Amino acid sequence: MSSSPAAGNPTSQRRIAFATIIGTTIEWYDFFIYATSAGLVFAQLFFQPAGEDVALLLSLATVGISFLFRPLGAFLAGHFGDIIGRRTMLVSTLVLMGAATTLIGVLPAFAQIGIAAPILLLLLRILQGLSAGGEWGGAVLMAVEHAPANRRGRAGSWPQLGVPLGFLLASGMTALMTGVISPGEEYLQWGWRVPFLVSVVLIVVGFVIRRSVEESPVFTEMAERGKQTHAPIVALFKHHWPLVVLAALVFVGNSTLGYMTTGGFLNNYAIAEQHLDTTAVLVAAVVAAVVWFFSTLLAGVLADAIGRRNTFLIGFGLQAVVVFPIFWLVDTGGLPGLYAALFLISTGLGLTYGPLAAWYSEIFPASMRFSGVSVTYAIGAVLGGAFAPMISQMLLDATGTTVAVSCYLLLTTLLGAVATLCLRDRTGIPLGPDHEAEQASGATVFAPREADDDLAEKR
């Protein structure tokens, strides 16, 4: 593959980093503002006839149901991203997410339009799910495929940083509304809508920034040579379905614990069960997002220094150690305990999230890479994070203790660690279309050892 102009150009690298971070931050702000509101508002305004406990479960379920549509979004974005380009799909998913988020901000509640309110809310959440399913793959490929081989871990962490930043922005905006601008009943009456409506401004900014970035050099080269696969999804599952499953399970280990915070469960637990102040809990979530940001950044550096797989294993080891103490800290330590729990969670999350973009990009062949990373990420999100808040709430309701929740988190963490051990580290593998045969072999430990040895020699 001809080297990317951006690979040796610091200015271009900064522009790509800025575009991927800003765009992904906006995209995930939109996604997380819903999850934050699900535990605080939607149960009361859209599902109240079901009763308090059932309404909360239904509200949390809408967070998870949208995940079921993320694979469809990944299929569509992956298909067209491998055929017409990464940048086009990045812009399209951003606009779709912004439109859905803004419409939620003007949606009448159950008291105004009855059963139509939760139905429309669910439909708009599904559109968010479709957008989120397609956005991530395009963002990481724009970052990784533009980067020099020895800096892909760091470059891949750029779009990953958009997730904690989006969570920070969503939590901070909600805390501002609940604690300053519209406290108490005013938040339920109108204040919750403001963070959704702010999305209009953010989408315009993101659209302009993403339109300014050049297309990925890998896709440009494939397009010039006419090497696009006409049915990338079909080829992906025909030849690489075991790889898709294993890589998805890696993300399950991260996303299940991740959605304890971003999905609203831990926040709601601290507020409802431990009676901590809502705004104080949201501020703690903002601090947690800052920790998550820096641990993700550190993970990108570590991924280039010690490899993707080793970084993941360190992160999963930390996650396994903290899944029981986090609830003990919240139960006995009050607000300081919540801060400590969120610090532990966020550190482990960063170490198992920062290297994901580079590793996913290096295990799939160029002609189906957008489809591979998008679909794999979406499947991992469905199996891991989709219903994690709801499952955790059901376990808590059924057992009356968080021990069952911790066991659930430990199981998914160990599952992610085992899947990690089943994949090979592919640091530095050429990403261009001329190396398709190398890219298509040796990604799992079950592949012939000769394929892996040949790859190592060529590198």
The pLDDT of residue 141: 86
CA Rg, the chain, in Å?
21
Please write the tens of the pLDDT for every residue from 270-284: 888 888 988 898 889
How sure is the predictor about 5, in pLDDT bands with cuts at 50, 70 and 90?
A: very low
DSSP secondary structure string, 79-124? HHHHHT-HHHHHHHHHHHHHHHHHHHHT---HHHHTTHHHHHHHHH
Q: Among candidates 343, 342, 325, 318, which has minimal Cα distance to 402?
A: 325
More confident residue, 455 or 396: 396
The pLDDT of residue 453: 47
Please write the tens of the pLDDT for every residue from 334-347: 899 999 999 999 99
The pLDDT of residue 459: 43
The pLDDT of residue 315: 97
- Is residue 436 over pLDDT 80? yes
275 by DSSP, 3-state: which?
coil
The average confidence (pLDDT) of the chain is 85
The pLDDT of residue 123: 92
Q: Among candidates 339, 337, 354, 333, which has minimal Cα distance to 286?
A: 339
- Is residue 306 over pLDDT 90? yes
Mean pLDDT for the stretch of residues 313-332: 95
Cβ atoms within 10 A of the Cβ of 395, count? 18
The pLDDT of residue 405: 94
Predicted TM-score (pTM) of the model is 0.82
Please write the tens of the pLDDT for every residue from 83-141: 776 777 777 888 888 888 899 999 999 999 999 999 999 999 898 888 877 778 888 88
Weakest-pLDDT range from 313-317, 367-371, 425-429: 367-371
